[in-house]
Amino acid sequence: MTPAARLQAAIDVLSPVLSGAPAERELTRWARGARYAGSKDRAAVRDHVFDALRMLRSSAWLGGLDDRPVEKMDAHAVVSGLLRQQGQEPETLFTGSGYAPPRPPPPGPPLEQAPEAVRLDVADWLLPRLCASLGDRTEPVCDALRHRAPVDLRVNLARTTREEVVRQLAADGHAAHAIDVSPSALRLDGPARGLNRLPAYQDGLFELQDAGSQTLVDRLPLQDGMRVLDLCAGGGGKTLAMAAAAKLEISAHDAIPERMRDLPARAARAGIEVDLVEDPSGPFDLVVCDVPCSGSGAWRRQPEAKWRLTPERLTELQSIQSDILRRASSLTRPGGTVAYMTCSLLRDENDAVVERSGLSVVSRWSTDPLAGTDGFFIALMHP
């Protein structure tokens, strides 16, 4: 595919996404119908779509759409505005010939003239909440969310060392380096595609996991012999990280068990035993609840979520978070620890939920993309 044809494909994918369709589903649908597209073509189209979602409002503004709701945006104009943000002239690729997109619309006013929420690529209603949560870090954090996230790996230190994984990755053509955020963290220096086919991955020596997420596990009071419950396990990334950090009796649960479908295979690959439970029975020494949240700290990786969040959904999430925290407390032994975690930047989902819980707070900690990781929050509490 030519660069122009890739842009047209990105426009075709983005158009239904702006109307509410899931981006991953539309990318898969396009790829199945585009048998002529190679792996590099598919990767380029994906990058265009996700870059546009990260910088959606500002790209729409520069594409001549002024300030309008997401569902009323035109994907053709958005992608032309994206190119302008990236220092390219869309006129050179939007020629209308062959498989190229039609001529671009006239550019919009300079971005400096746009409203603040447009420049920062967030919803109008959300900006005051971000300001209340982040203070003078609001603008740089929002800017960081407009760019791609790095690819981090968690080394299975129960089986190997970071140095050995770096060596094996290099032998397979992938450069990586250790970062200080966590003793188990590596950061790739290039693309991540094909990692799950590498021998080191198949042997359970590493997993893909943001370094900030690894740091949350580093902050848990894990000791050999503890009985631990991961109450909102999802895919099991933190479950596996905890099990690699200490010899635990560890159980994993999720309200939607299907989310854990890959966990047994991942645990077996890592040489770890995890008990998947439908109805956990306490008491546990430690209950970890990585609760459903806005995901605002990870919007670099899931940018469409930024445009799906509403005030009503945020209120609903806070209620769910409080309910989970109450359940976690009931499953924790006296003197044990409840660990409340989110990947949110919002005080509404972090400190506010913890302070309403009535639990005794031992410590709390947070990070955001300015530290080079996704945004996370953790509070350790006694019931």
pLDDT tens figures, 224-271: 999 999 999 999 999 999 999 999 999 999 999 999 999 999 999 999
d(CA 193, CA 313): 33
Residue 234, by phi and psi: left (phi above 0), alpha (psi -120 to 50) or beta?
A: left
The DSSP 8-state label assigned to residue 61 in this structure reads: I
Q: What is the pLDDT at residue 307?
A: 98
Half-sphere exposure of 172 (CA within 13 A, CB side): 18
Name beta bridge partners: 364.
Answer: 379
CB-CB contact of 287 with 338 (8 Å): yes
| Domain 152-208 of CATH type 3.30.70.1170 | yes
Contacts of 170 (CB under 8 A, 6+ apart): 176
Query: Across the chain, where does the E strand assignment appear?
Result: 152-155, 176-178, 185-188, 206-208, 227-230, 249-252, 275-276, 284-290, 332-342, 360-367, 376-382
The structure tokens listed for 328 are 């976690």
CB-CB contact of 382 with 359 (8 Å): yes
The structure tokens listed for 173 are 């053509």
Q: What is the pLDDT at residue 67?
A: 87
d(CA 363, CA 370): 22
Owner of token pair 């990105």: 10
Q: Which is the CATH superfamily of the domain at 211-382?
A: Vaccinia Virus protein VP39 (3.40.50.150)
Distance (Å) of CA 377 to CA 2, 131, 269, 363: 43, 17, 29, 11
Task: Kindly give the parts of the chain with pLDDT less than 50.
Answer: none
Q: Is 290 annotated as a binding residue?
A: yes
d(CA 8, CA 3): 9
Distance (Å) of CA 327 to CA 237, 257, 291: 21, 17, 12
pTM: 0.94
* Active-site residue flag, 232: no
Query: Across 227-298, where does the E strand assignment appear?
Result: 227-230, 249-252, 275-276, 284-290
CB-CB contact of 83 with 93 (8 Å): yes
CB-CB contact of 43 with 193 (8 Å): yes
